[in-house]
Amino acid sequence: RGPDPYSPTGQEEDVTPEERAQGGDRLTTAQGLRLADTDHSLKAGPRGPVLLQDHHLREKVMHFDHERIPERVVHARGAAAHGVFRSYGTAASVTRAAFLAKGVETPVFVRFSTVLGSRGSADTVRDTRGFATKFYTDEGVFDLVGNNIPVFFIQDAIKFPDVIHAAKPHPDREIPQAQSAHDTFWDFVSLHTEATHHTLWNMSDRGIPRSYRTMEGFGVHTFRLVDAEGATTLVKFHWKPKAGVHSLVWEEAQLIGGADPDFHRRDLADAIEAGAHPQWELGIQVLPDTPEQTFEGIDLLDPTKIVPEELAPVQPIGLLTLNANPVNYFAETEQVAFHVGHLVPGIDVTDDPLLAGRLFSYLDTQITRLGGPNFGQIPINRTHAPVNDMLRDGFHQDAVHAGVAPYKPNSLDGGCPFFAGAHEGGYVETPVRVAAARKVREAPASFADHFSQPRLFWLSLSPVEREHVIAAYTFELGKVYEQAIKERNLRVLAEIDPYLCEQVAQGLGLPVPKPVNSLPAVDPSPALSQVGRTWPTT
């Protein structure tokens, strides 16, 4: 029993969540009426017709009929855990976020997921993995909604429905359920070559992680941190697993997918139950907030680009420990609602056009998925900070709001004639300058480079990792029906590396295309040889 953040007076809830759920030795209806029998319908005689007046029968069947809610439109399959985040205090010089002050402990809920498969699909498929963390801070909820791959397929959210339509199962046969081996996916990524970098990571061993416990996580976009004086810094967020980064090999993934399609969720839950609590360090790459928002020539607003760790080392700022499994999958893992717009003072977004679309999309989809606008009141989504909003009514409204004047300022509800806002610690968007510009539907010129970073990633791989990539492309493209799509993808590979292209072409029995652009020389210095390749700190 604890303070109810939706109670106007902050009073304690009158029933605990446990009391609301099943417990005790009496079986009742939803109205609390004690039942004598739940196995027989009310009938006119033992062999007679069932009577409509049987309320218990109707309530029981009606409720069962409505048990399912829509699965997430992406990231439908997931597994989650509770934990705690302990801040080292090392970010305190660049952000005023209270939960990043030294020694502060913040409860968290983390949901891992695959992206493309349905809720019942297998865990070990080749796919990107979601890594979403909800921090229940004293200043409100902060969500870091990231993936295990540091870049994304597209640079502008307006293409998100397109890339997902291309990557989800074909609309006619609903094949394939969970893997990328199909014509529409390969059609899309070869026509929108900004997808090359993410696709290459997917085809590498990063696409088939050994365990959620051995995955890195990335915030992907560049975020803006703000310190107590209002000074700003650009950052990229990284999660580094204490257990190290490990992947399956393809044959293992295939065998496990057949023998135990729940492999990753079982592994996570078993580890936590056994007391082997998984841990990650949160780190940031700290980048100056210049008007150009570039770093060493890399456009920080382009989510298809990383900043090599050799150019901006990841600095650890805190430790995440997952220490408790959810009690109920539906209540917690299924109903949790993350949002990149859930920010706290000291953390702000940037103008990355992919991030802008996400700021709209999550709230919007959750209205449908969670049945109306009040999903913030579902226990797993509740902030641990006091709530005093002006949001009223709507489906599934749980709060009993007091007062007659749901607007601010007002002179009726016991004072509060003035709106106590920013000057008392409220969230203030960073007043960054927005260039006076004409309206355009255009991408900046810096977004046009689609191949230099995939090439650096390829060059950073060891020989055996490269062979895995070649085998993955050969297998996946081998499943494509249209020869023209295979050939177009080979032309993309020719822009990354001649050996990669040649090997995959040979595997497919197709001619090797020449690159359209001559490959610029890549700096082979050790500083860049590890690009995109990050190692655990322990």
| Residues 64, 441: Cα–Cα separation, whole Å | 48
Which of 147, 148, 325, 381 is catalytic? The answer is 147
Which x/- pattern over 41-80 shows residues binding ligand HEM (rule: CB under 6 A)? -------------------------------xxxx--x--
284 is an interface residue for ligand HEM by CB under 6 A: no
Q: Pick from 87, 95, 106, 113 the residue near ligand HEM by CB under 6 A.
A: 113
The rounded distance, in Å, linking the Cα atoms of 135 and 490 is 43
Q: Choose the stretch contacting ligand HEM; rule: CB under 6 A; options: 174-182, 319-327, 350-358, 457-465.
A: 350-358
Nearer to ligand HEM, 282 or 504 (CB): 282
Helix (H, G, I), strand (E, B) or coil at 493: helix
Q: CB count, 10 Å around CB of 486? A: 21
362 binds ligand HEM (CB under 6 A): yes
Nearer to ligand HEM, 71 or 487 (CB): 71
Binding of ligand HEM by 146 (CB under 6 A):
yes
User: Does the active-site annotation cover 75?
Assistant: yes
CA atoms within 13 A of residue 133's CA, in its CB half-sphere? 26
Q: Which stretch binds ligand HEM (CB under 6 A): 39-47, 192-200, 270-278, 361-369?
A: 361-369
Q: Is 236:284 a contact under the CB 8 Å cutoff?
A: yes
3-state secondary structure of 204: coil
Tell me which of 152, 188, 237, 473 binds ligand HEM, using CB under 6 A.
Answer: 152
Which SS3 state, helix, strand or coil, does residue 231 take? coil
**Residue number with CB closer to ligand HEM (74 or 504):** 74
Interface pick for ligand HEM out of 82, 111, 264, 486 (rule CB under 6 A): 111
- Which residue(s) pair with 87 in the sheet? 318
117 near ligand HEM, rule: CB under 6 A: no
CB of 390 to ligand HEM, least distance (A): 24
Q: Which stretch binds ligand HEM (CB under 6 A): 294-302, 306-314, 354-362, 381-389?
A: 354-362
Residue whose pair of structure tokens reads 């399956």 in the numeric block: 248
Q: By CB under 6 A, what part of segment 293-332 binds ligand HEM? A: 303
Shortest Å, Cβ 426 to ligand HEM: 27
Here's the x/- map for ligand HEM, 75-94, by CB under 6 A: it reads as x--x----------------
User: What whole-number distance in Å separates Cα of residue 326 and Cα of residue 330?
Assistant: 9
Smallest CA-to-CA distance from 304 within 21, 80, 532 is with 532
The answer to whether 362 and 160 have CB atoms below 8 angstroms apart is no
The phi, psi pair for 451, rounded to 5°, reads -120, -20
Start-to-end CA span in the chain (Å): 39
Contact 415, 333 (CB under 8 A): no
Residue 147 falls in the annotated catalytic set: yes
Residue type, 451: F
Which residue number, 4 or 332, has a Cβ lying nearer to ligand HEM? 332
Q: How many residues bind ligand HEM (CB under 6 A)?
A: 29
Return all residues near 532 (Cβ < 8 A) that are at least 6 apart. Answer: 150, 201, 306, 308, 453, 456, 457, 460
Residues that bind ligand HEM (CB under 6 A): 72-75, 78, 111, 113, 130, 132, 145-147, 152, 157, 160, 220-221, 303, 336-338, 354, 357-358, 361-362, 365-366, 369
What are the catalytic residues? 75, 147
